[in-house]
A and B are shown apart, each in its own frame.
Chain A
Amino acid sequence: MLGFLTARQAGVDDPLRLRRAESTRRVLSLKLNPDRDVDRVHGNGINTIDIDAVEGRYMLSGGADGVIVIYDLENYSRKQQYSCKAVCTVGRSSRYVHKFSVETVQWYPYDTGMFVSSSFDKTMKVWDSETLKPAEVFEFEGNVYSHHLSPIARKHSLIAVGTKDPKIQLCDLKSGSRIHVLQGHRSEILSVRWSPRYDHILATASADSKVKVWDVRQASGSLFTLDQHNGDKSKASSEAVNTAHNGRVNGLCFTGDGLYLLTTGTDDRMRLWNSATGENTLVNYGKVCNESRKRLQFTVSRGCSPEFVFVPCGSSVAVYALHTGELVTTLRGHYNNVDCCEFHPDYQELYSGGKDCNILAWVPVPRASDVEEESKSANQAAADQSSVNPAFQDAWSSDED
């Protein structure tokens, strides 16, 4: 570590190198911390969580009973022990609450004044976070499995919605119109995802084992379909031509830079694809247990090298290295199936929610303090109990001193 700091100081190393090294070290040491807790508000399983992209301060969670909760993740108390409080809830008593389970929630990418939630009651609601009332309700004909707003779009504000219908609907937030439809799949759409690199590229995964990548500006069909055998027709039986998996595809995730796309399927496999060409990179992750009949929310780390994939596997979260496919570790702590996980890129923390109604925060293990520091802090702690971290101490002094 000191070597990295000196190299950075001397200008031998790029500043990014130190940051990446430290982020990777932190991700490799993720553990459950007794000091960090998330308020338990849900009475039923948690289906989806989302952390806002602007500040990384608020977290949304949607539950199987239709309840939506907003948590504050920042720790402004000066204590080590912190429990993320629920700021507000759309509970069962609210007039506008979803009737059935909430499947996807997402913050509006530019500020936390608005969020969108979609549910099995065949509606998608756009909520005002201040008043907790829906500003707009979109109704559909089948269960809504997944929706996604593009995190980088400036020219459009389309929400891609995947429902039981094989057609993907694009709902416009500005005008409320839903006439733009993408046709091509043959079965229900389990997951949709916009690319974080281009605002017109959309990837969709369906129960017919296919994953299609679309350019929404084009009038014709999809750009390409992902093929697990890379066009080598000899490897598979003839029904499995042009499929991404040998079963339903229920999870999609782009890497942070948008260059690669990860897909998971009920054939217990996870595949890494080059998002520009649609080529299967043939990284072998082994058996990634997947029994979900709905969308699986998994996530990729950002800012580390090598990048890590966090996949919910049964009642634990498996961590794989992105490009080599090796299983780095398994995070065990939930009492029941884990349904969703989300990575906080600024603090390298992982939040996971599952059927046991808990959201667990996996926090990097803090560095062990040196022997000298320990004795000094022991003296300080005796004198001054509240200040644990000298960074929080008020060191301001007025000019007249």
Chain B
Amino acid sequence: MAAWRDAPELPDFSLLKRLARDQLIFLLEQLPGKKDLFIDADLMSPLDRIANVTILKQHEVDKLYKVELKPIVSSSDQLCFLIRPRIQTVKWISDLVNADKVAGRFRRYKIIFTPQKFYACETVLEEQGVYGDVTTDEWNFYILPLDDDILSLELPEFFRDNFLEGDQRWVTTAGSALHLLQSVYGSFSKVYGIGRCAKMVYESWRELMEEGEQRTRQPEFAKVFLVDRDVDFVTPLCSQVVYEGLVDDLFRIKCGSVEFGPDVTSSDKSIKVMLNSQDKVFSEIRNEHFSNVFGFLSQKAKNLQTAYDKRRGMDIQQMKAFVSDELKGLKQEHRLLSLHIGASESMMKKKTKQDFQELLKTEHSLLEGFEIRECITYIEEHINRQVSMIDSLRLLCLLSITENGLLSKDYRSLKAQYLQSYGIKHLLTFANLRQLGLLEEQQAGETLTVMESKVGKLVNDKTVGKLTDAFSSLAKKSNFRALSKRLALVPKSGEEYDLRVPRDMAYVFSGAYIPLSCKLIEQVLERDGWTGLEEVTRMLNGQEFAVTEARNKTDAQRIVLVMFLGGCTFSEISALRFLGKERGCRFIVVTTAITNSARLLEALLDNHA
């Protein structure tokens, strides 16, 4: 293991923004003259991060509209649509064009698909008889840098499309994103991965590599780890307790920015704040367990007061210097500090309530496999009281994954009560969760595993291995309990855990659990592959790989790119930052989107047909 050294510098990702902006400008110039621009709702924030209205206006964009799938009011002769490649949106555009035709109105139409177009969308244009009336283009805006070490594809639908629907439309997108990083920042020497999608993404990327010309420049990062979200569902289902994760759970961070409401700003208006390493206050607390944040903020407030107090007794010259050198910074800090204190206060109000404490206790018991009956009673009451529909679902899923499915009688009774409390249409939700393996009823065969583990104590290990093999083919099981034991994910209870001086990644869950995804990454990097982890990968249903691309030992070896396919949580990012500090390396997270328990589960609801 590498001795602790100064962490290496991270590459400059702002270049990616510039590339995306330049391509967009180029595409807008393909439609000369004044035009109105319609933007998909979920593209507005990403677009805001790389361009602004002035740039669009400079390229003759007249008015901007949000795509709402409703009739439009535009008097422009040229309409440009900047959209994700979705059939529904293309159908809407076709309807507009056809309505114009009926009204005898001539306009030019251009669709810019991002990050790429799909044949299914073009077929819609063809079928609706507007192919040719509408021109199409691609804006390859694959990656949005959210921070120094977070790159996002901003594709939340990746999760549902890939894992629930089994649609591989985004596989090549992820491959192209890696290819883009490689062509801008240099090639990688080692690639590790686990998961079915990870394997496909790697293959797709490799194909692109073989076609493209080989870059000889020094690589800026050399190791890549690809991981499927369904390798670890436990982590994103846990309540987040590090500051950034908690802010995301409570206020929903959108594209690196959060909107704090009146209860935080203590005024009558909401304020949008960017949350990233540029915010000096935030960058110091983002990875901290929330119980430490308040002490830190109050110390900071005292320091600030002292800095302001320096003014007293200054003469005019000193005052002038103070105003020009320090005041601006102090005020900025002052503003940020008030906001984060407001946010913490509002968090404390919600999170120190008895309810939240009990919720955490239940989560920890589930992770530990302790007092499961009590947990079930708690979940049942949670459902009966009709409190948070998503939290109830989250607890049910955690119970199911950690216990390898629910006993038949529990499953039926909890499902029935859930439907009574939150609506019978959630039948559809349960079907989705079952398909994904998130919430299952134990099959008759599976009860054997209980016996098998008992038998294991009597018979030698080899026999058990064979037994397990036989059964693992029956169903895809989470095997969480066994994995947790093998990888020591849950520290022994009863031990004191000082959250101010974390000793391992478990601190991101109050010392109760090390995120499985991050533990795997740690283990594979340490072993430089999967050797010695055979039992673990078998329990994770295999699909692991490790490939050596080239041999070049540079400082870049200490920068590791981790790609989460299907989303990554802020808790995992914090855990990786901690691991990086421990090991003297830096992690860069590439994710299809930032996720958390609510987003993950909401993606699986079927609220509308």
The answer to whether A and B interact is: no
Which residues of A are interface residues toward B (Cβ below 8 A)? none
Which residues of B are interface residues toward A (Cβ below 8 A)? none
